[in-house]
């Protein structure tokens, strides 16, 4: 059974911000002649990495709510220039929007069981994706999303 990770998306105010940042980084890599791969760097190596890479996703908390996820395709450990062990969570660049799920701030990442993960937005909720981010935020703050 796949296991997910949960992480704060620091610096992004919306899913659109995250998508734009991913597109920018992929374009940068293409222009530099590097593989167009997308990853997130973290210090802690998941001890349950086999479960995470068996179909797990990285669920992003944006402005206090889980709002989207990205499939984790691989975990690549490495040592940085300061001799500190880290890992790249290799991510599918496609961002999948999810139902909003409130989350308090935390440091690092957390495991997220599939039963506790928010559902992907279905076709019946496609209008939420088209809604301006500010309006979605206001509705979420009122508990209407």
Domain spans of the chain, in order of start: 4-141
Q: Please give the Cα distance from 39 to 85 (Å, whole number).
A: 16
How far is it, in rounded angstroms, from Cα 139 to Cα 145? Answer: 6
pLDDT at site 134: 72
**pTM attached to this predicted model:** 0.86
- pLDDT at residue 21, rounded to an integer: 96
What residue ranges of the chain have pLDDT lower than 50? none
pLDDT at site 120? 92
What are the pLDDT digits (tens) for 23-61?
999 999 999 999 999 999 999 999 999 999 999 999 999
């Amino acid at each position: 059974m796949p296991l997910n990770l949960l992480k704060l998306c620091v610096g992004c105010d919306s899913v659109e911000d995250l998508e734009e940042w991913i597109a920018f980084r992929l374009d940068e890599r293409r222009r530099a002649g590097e593989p167009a791969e997308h990853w997130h760097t973290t210090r802690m190596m998941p001890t349950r990495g086999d479960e995470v890479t068996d179909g797990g996703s990285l669920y992003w908390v944006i402005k206090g709510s889980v709002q989207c996820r990205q499939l984790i395709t691989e975990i690549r450990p490495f040592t940085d220039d300061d001799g500190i062990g880290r890992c790249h969570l290799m991510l599918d660049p496609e961002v999948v929007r999810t139902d909003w799920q409130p989350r308090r701030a935390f440091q690092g990442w957390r495991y997220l069981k599939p039963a506790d993960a928010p559902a992907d937005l279905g076709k019946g909720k496609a209008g939420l994706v088209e809604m301006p981010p500010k309006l979605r935020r206001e509705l979420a703050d009122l508990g209407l999303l």
